[in-house]
């Protein structure tokens, strides 16, 4: 369609040069040029915006990264059948380091997790519904980083305990562990 319009425009310009009456053909030429411009605008692709959030799988877990703010959330274990799950402190994605700030609502829904390792050296926000819908009703062993301050350890323990109460887990055990880097 573009090539036909171009040919038509060239033919009109040649006619104008030969006839020498530019005033009488000017409106038609403008019409052809406007039609060509409109065709080009319709045919052009609209610019696609970059996504603001990305879902990434790292070390047995699925994480959501907000690329604008850098806020990173643990969404779920990569495999529902996993008995041991590790929530990373931070990880590298496209050359940037992202620190995990939260555990999402229903993160362990349908999973059989019995051991949860949280490598964070700071407090992570734990959704009250994080363990809601967990398949395994066995006791949960939670291993927290030994590098956590007493205050942050208490906050994490309180957050996990609160989340566990909403699920039907009978017992939670907390351990302080040194993680290898």
Which structural domains are found in the chain, ordered by start?
2-43 (no CATH), 53-177 (3.80.10)
Token reading at 152: 């942050």
3-state secondary structure of 43: helix
pLDDT: which is higher, 179 or 116: 116
pLDDT at 46 over 50: no
Give the confidence band of 174 by pLDDT, cuts at 50, 70, 90. Answer: confident
pLDDT for 20 equals 56
**Using H for helix, E for strand and C for coil, what is the string for 14-82?**
HHHHHHCCHHHHHHHHHHHHHHHHHHHHHHCCCCCCCCCEEEEEECCEEEEEECCCCCEEEEEECCCCC
pLDDT: which is higher, 163 or 25: 163
pLDDT: which is higher, 167 or 18: 167
Question: 88, 58 in Cβ contact below 8 A?
Answer: yes
Euclidean distance between CA atoms 35 and 122, whole angstroms: 61
Dihedral sign for Cα atoms in the order 55, 125, 157, 150: positive
pLDDT at 79 over 70: yes
CA distance between the termini of the chain: 61
0.75 exceeded by pTM: no
pLDDT at 96 over 60: yes
Q: What is the mean pLDDT of residues 111-117?
A: 90
pLDDT at 148 over 70: yes
């Amino acid at each position: 369609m573009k090539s036909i319009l171009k040919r038509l425009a060239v033919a009109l310009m040649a006619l104008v040069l030969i006839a020498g009456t530019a005033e009488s053909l000017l409106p038609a030429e403008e019409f052809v040029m406007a039609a060509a411009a409109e065709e080009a605008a319709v045919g052009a692709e609209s610019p696609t915006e970059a996504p603001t959030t990305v879902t990434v799988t790292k070390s047995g877990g699925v994480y959501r990264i907000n690329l604008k703010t850098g806020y990173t959330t643990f969404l779920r274990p990569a495999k529902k059948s996993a008995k041991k799950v590790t929530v990373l402190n931070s990880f590298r994605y496209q050359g940037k380091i992202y620190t995990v700030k939260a555990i999402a609502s229903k993160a362990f829904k349908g999973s059989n997790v019995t051991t949860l390792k949280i490598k964070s050296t700071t407090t992570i926000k734990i959704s009250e519904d994080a363990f809601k819908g967990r398949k395994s009703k066995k006791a949960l062993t939670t291993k927290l980083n030994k590098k956590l301050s007493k205050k942050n350890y208490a906050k994490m323990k309180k957050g996990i305990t609160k989340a566990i109460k909403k699920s039907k887990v009978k017992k939670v055990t907390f351990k302080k562990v040194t993680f290898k880097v």
